[in-house]
Amino acid sequence: MPTYGLTPEGLVIKTPEILRAELDAAARGKFTPSIPLGDQTLFGHVNAILAEELGNLWELAETVNSSQDPDAATGAGLDALSLLTGTYRRAAAYSYVVLTLCGTPTISVPAGNVVATSLGGNFALNADATFVALVARATATAYAVGDRRTYVSRCYECTVAGTSSVGAGPTTTGVAIADGTVTWAYLGEGIGCIDAAATATVTGAVVGGVRDITEIVNPVSGWNTAINLDEASLGYVVDADATLRARREIDLAAPGTGYLAAIRQALLLVPGVSSATVFHNTGDVVDADGVPPHHIEALIRGGADADLWACLLGNVPAGIGTYGDVTGVAEDDEGTDHTFSFSRPEELDIHVSISVIVDALTFPVDGDAQIKTAIAAWGNTLLAGQDVRATRAGAQAYSVTGVLDVPRAGSLGGCLVANGVAPTADASITVSTRQLATFDVANISVATTTGSV
């Protein structure tokens, strides 16, 4: 006979079916073997009710038991277990971006006004923004990178330093406009300009590729254009149970300062860091990755250089060197400077083309945009050295309601990927240890075909 309860192999619970059979057997032994216990009898109904309620108690015992196992705990139980290691479920966060607004000087755009992406993501201004008049572009004048000027009622920013021509200046809306030896990028319409921080109106990864946040939702007289010169910093949804478990495992390594996992975790906690990989060489010669002996190399995307040097100061053991092509100093608590180095990954600009079959009745109006966002959000979680597999990228489409299939087309899959160019194949993209795949919704195309369930 099976053993129930907490056994050496784990908790074994009784199901309502087993409990009903035991109650029926007990009733026959207590009263008479011929007692009617069918589903349509009084005693049968009573035993069925008791079995269901007792089954709930067994399920409660299973939930309590699972709450002690990080691989099985869920919800509040996993929250409580994670607190033992100081790991909190990360709350949802908003995406944010800096917008460059152009218009009439002294005109103010109120906080809360919204600018949207081409895919419908909304970003609201954090504070009032008042346009400041730009100096007019002059002929035969030296300009430095970042200088902003106005010309023919348009705003431009210098992206390559040089001297302007003696003739006409920039007039187009491009991003690489030659003017003598100066190169200008178009910012917008008007003779006034201001940079303004903006936050997404919903939590999660609201993607805004470079120069993609341009649609003014709440117009103001004198406010002509808006644009983002850098991609939006992605927010995130509240941690799922699986994400919290993974973060707990990382945090378990953090107290052991000096271990690779602890160094990586410390780097990931630096503001702005989205990816970190730590290489180490314990040998006496340069290793295959190019790391000198008795050195570590941190490969980091995001974060300010000074913050990362300070993090390495606090987490790399004494006597271990740091290697990389970004070198600087961090000051210890005694005022002594120490030199540290790290590296930035080579970012691969991944392009994706996906064909999907959808149910016209349930596929949302912005379903294409949702698919692009899902693929970009997944791709930007890949670590340095992780290959890009078309099948995994394509699988993200199924997170959108109404997607029925990502079919293959002949010898090719329904999802194609490529590095830096329009994709024509579904072969995986090999990513070296010093490379990192990056995704932008602007480089993802979606083709939908209506099908039937």
229-284: per-residue pLDDT in tens? 988 888 877 888 887 887 777 666 555 444 677 888 888 888 888 888 899 888 88
Return d(Cα 306, Cα 328) in angstroms, integer.
7
Per-residue model confidence (pLDDT) at position 357: 92
Cα–chain center distance at 357: 26
Return d(Cα 108, Cα 18) in angstroms, integer.
72
Confidence of residue 382 (pLDDT cuts 50, 70, 90): confident
Per-residue model confidence (pLDDT) at position 33: 87
Pairing of strands 321-323, 326-331: unpaired
* Percent of the chain's residues with pLDDT above 90: 46
Mean pLDDT of 403-411: 79
Which letter, b or e, does each residue of 76-108 get, where b requires 16 or more Cβ atoms within 10 Å of its Cβ?
A: ebbbebbeeeebebeeebbbbbebbbbbebebe
Pairing of strands 321-323, 295-301: parallel
What is the layout of strands, in order, in the sheet containing 295-301? 275-281, 295-301, 321-323
Indicate yes or no: pTM above 0.85.
no
Per-residue model confidence (pLDDT) at position 452: 76
Most confident by average pLDDT, 147-151, 300-304, 319-323: 147-151
Per-residue model confidence (pLDDT) at position 130: 95
pLDDT of 88 above 80: no
Return d(Cα 115, Cα 226) in angstroms, integer.
7
Per-residue model confidence (pLDDT) at position 371: 93
Confidence of residue 453 (pLDDT cuts 50, 70, 90): low
Per-residue model confidence (pLDDT) at position 120: 86
**Can you tell me which residue has the tokens 């319409």?**
189
Return d(Cα 36, Cα 44) in angstroms, integer.
7
Mean pLDDT of 154-161: 96
The string of pLDDT tens digits covering residues 171-209 is 999 999 999 999 999 999 999 999 999 999 998 888 888
Torsion of CA 75, 80, 84, 88, to 10 degrees: 60
The tokens for 229 are 């010169």
Return d(Cα 232, Cα 129) in angstroms, integer.
19
Query: Which of 214-218, 231-235, 362-366 is predicted least confidently?
Result: 231-235
Per-residue model confidence (pLDDT) at position 368: 92
Strands (E), 106-217: 108-109, 114-117, 122-125, 129-130, 132-133, 142-143, 148-151, 154-160, 162-163, 177-179, 182-189, 192-203, 213-216
Query: Which of 47-51, 81-85, 146-150, 394-398 is predicted least confidently?
Result: 81-85
Strand (E) or helix (H) holding 327: strand 326-331
The string of pLDDT tens digits covering residues 98-142 is 999 999 999 999 999 999 998 889 999 999 999 999 999 999 999
The tokens for 86 are 């100081």
pLDDT of 294 above 80: yes
C-beta separation of 301 from 272 below 8 A: no
Cα–chain center distance at 80: 25
Ramachandran quadrant class, 319 (left: phi over 0; alpha: psi -120 to 50; beta: rest): left
Per-residue model confidence (pLDDT) at position 38: 86
Torsion of CA 286, 290, 293, 295, to 10 degrees: 180
* Percent of the chain's residues with pLDDT above 70: 95
Angle between helices 42-66 and 16-30 (to 10 degrees): 130
Length of the chain in terms of residues written: 453
Strand partners, 155: 150, 188
Query: Which of 265-269, 402-406, 414-418 is predicted least confidently?
Result: 265-269
Please state, rounded to an integer, the average pLDDT across all residues of the chain: 88
User: Rounded to the nearest 5°, which phi and psi values hold at 308?
Assistant: -75, -40
**Secondary structure letter of residue 93 according to DSSP:** B
Mean pLDDT of 46-64: 85
Of 307, 114, 284, whose CA–CA distance to 200 is shortest?
114
